[in-house]
Each structure stands twice: as structure tokens, then as C-alpha cells.
Amino acid sequence: MKTKSLFFACFFLLVTMSLQLMSCSSKSEKEKSNSDIKEATVTTLNMPTSESNAAVEADQKSTADKAASKGSVNEEKKSEQNSPQPVKENIPQKIVKTADLSFKVEKYDAARFNILGIIKSHQGYVSSENQTGDEYRTTNVMVVRVGSEHFDALIDDLMKQAIFVDYKKIHSDDVTEEFVDVSARLKSKQDALVQYQLILKKANTINDILDVQQYIRTLQEEIESMEGRLKYLNNKVELSTVNVTFYQQSQMLPVQNSGFGWKIKEALAWGWHGFLQFIIGFMYLWPLWFIMLISLFLIMYFVKRGRRKRMLRNQPKQ
């Protein structure tokens, strides 16, 4: 019993001692923290007001700078997100289309009437027309101008009039690069002209005025030339060119023979033809032959008269 009581007494003392040690350590930590707080407050109180205000202002400035930098970064991100992306300029293509057609038709007059109707239906017009013919063939050459949107349809309808196609050629020429280049140079020339016109208003001496006017005149000539080139390209692009040749072949074809008999026949024919032409030419000159005949008659008359006079003089007198 005594040993048990001693054991419990020792255990109780150990527990109480450990609790006291723990309470003492917590009190010491609290005292240290309180002493640190007191020292910080004392230092802040003992510091001069200017230094304390400067420190506070520095802290505020640093925080403001950080906030501003964050805001600027955010604004830059927003502006990058909201700013419109650079749009690539879509330059329309400038294509000059040209076609060359040659075909045979069954009846010339009917084909010509139908072709003119087809051209009119596609809102085109005939720029030029040349008709030729002989005993073997009748041919018509047309130059047609039509809008580029009707180019393919016009060619298809024209080819329906053919009974035999000699050739069909279609050519497309891309002039986009030239068009853009001329437009850019025209813009720069126009800007330079505006600058020279402003300089002309500020010029004081006659020499300066004459020099500036010479530059302006040169620029105006170049601008007019470029504008004319652009109009020409636009006209070629908007109105395509179709060169149409159609013909009717006669049933009678020329005989192609190179034999000896054929050459003799041709020689006799051409000889007779030449003789007839000579007779016709001779008849055309009848006034000349008439005058020559009268002149010859008069000459012979005077010659005979002279001979008679000489004979009468030479006869002996009785």
C-alpha cells in the first residue's frame, strides 16, 4: 500500500511540474511578443514625423505603382483582345479576256442575222465588221465587245451556228499587278502635286514660282497618263473582245491541177483573154487612131500635091 501511494504521489508531482513548465514557456513567449510590439511602437513614436511620413508615402507609392502596373498590364491585354486584327486587303483580280473564233456556216445571210441577235441578247456590240466574197467563198470578220460576265455564254451561243470549226482560241491576261502598281504610283503623284501646290502659294520670287509650276506641269502630265492607262485597263477588263470569222463555202470549188494538158488549156485561155483585152483597149483609144488617120491622110495629100508641082515644073516647054 505504501509503495502504491508513493507511486501516485510521484506521478502527481511530475504532472504538476510539467504543467507549470508549459505555463511558464507560454508566458515568456507572450512577454517577448509584447516586448517586441512595445519596441516597435516606441521606435515609431521616437522617429521624426518627416521620416515616418516618408516611409508611409513610400509604402503607399509602391503599392500604387504595383496596382498601376497591374492595371496597365490588364488594359494592354484588354486592348490587344479588343483591338481589331489587321484585315488583309482583298484586291479584285483584273482579267482581260480575248477569244478568236473561225467557223463555217451553212447559209451566210441566216447565220449573220442569228449572230447579230446573239450579240444583242448578251448586251454586246459589234466594234467592226468586214465582209469579203468571191465566186467560191463569202467571209465576214467581226470584232465584238461584250461584258466579261457574258463572255463564256456568248462564245457558247456563237459556236452553235457553226457546222465546221476551224479554230477556237481563248486567252486570259491577268493585269492585276499592273493595275495595283499604276494606282499606287498615281496616288503618290497626286500627293506630291498637293505638296507642290502648297509650296507654290508660299513662293515669293519669280524663279521659285516658275520652277514650282514646271514641276506641277510635269506631275499633271504624268497623272493624266496614269489615269488614261487605268481607264484603258478597266475598259479591257469590263469589256472582253471576241474576234469572230464565219464564212459560207460555195459548192463550186477551183480546180487544182498542174498537168501538161491543163497548162496548155490555161495558156490558150489566158491568150484568148489577153487578145480580147487588147481589142477592148484598142477600142478605148479610138480618138487617138482617128486623129492619126486624119493626120496621115493630110500628109499623103500634101506629098502628092508637091510631086505634081515638081512634075509640072520639070516638063519641057513647047
Beta bridge partner(s), residue 247 = 104, 139
Measure the CA–CA gap between 277 and 292, rounded to whole angstroms.
22
Measure the CA–CA gap between 100 and 144, rounded to whole angstroms.
10
Lowest-confidence pick of 32-46, 165-179, 288-302: 32-46
State the pLDDT at residue 254.
Answer: 54
Q: What is the pLDDT of residues 25-69, one digit of tens each?
A: 555 554 554 454 444 444 433 444 344 444 445 555 555 555 545
Q: For residues 238-262, give the mean pLDDT.
A: 78
Residue 207 has pLDDT above 50, yes or no: yes
State the pLDDT at residue 65.
Answer: 56
Asked if residues 145 and 124 have their Cβ atoms less than 8 Å apart, the reply is yes
DSSP secondary structure of 135-172: SSEEEEEEEEEEEGGGHHHHHHHHHTT-SEEEEEEEEE
State the pLDDT at residue 257.
Answer: 57
Measure the CA–CA gap between 286 and 111, rounded to whole angstroms.
49
Beta bridge partner(s), residue 126 = 144
Measure the CA–CA gap between 138 and 130, rounded to whole angstroms.
11
Asked if residues 157 and 147 have their Cβ atoms less than 8 Å apart, the reply is no
Q: For residues 72-90, give the mean pLDDT.
A: 51
Residue 157 has pLDDT above 90, yes or no: yes
C-alpha cell at 205: 520670287
Type of residue found at 316: P
State the pLDDT at residue 39.
Answer: 47
Q: Which of 244, 241, 120, 103 is nearest to 161 (CA)?
A: 103
C-alpha cell at 238: 469590263
Residue 120 has pLDDT above 80, yes or no: yes
Q: What is the pLDDT of residues 124-147, one digit of tens each?
A: 999 999 999 888 889 999 999 999
Residue predicted with more confidence, 11 or 126? 126
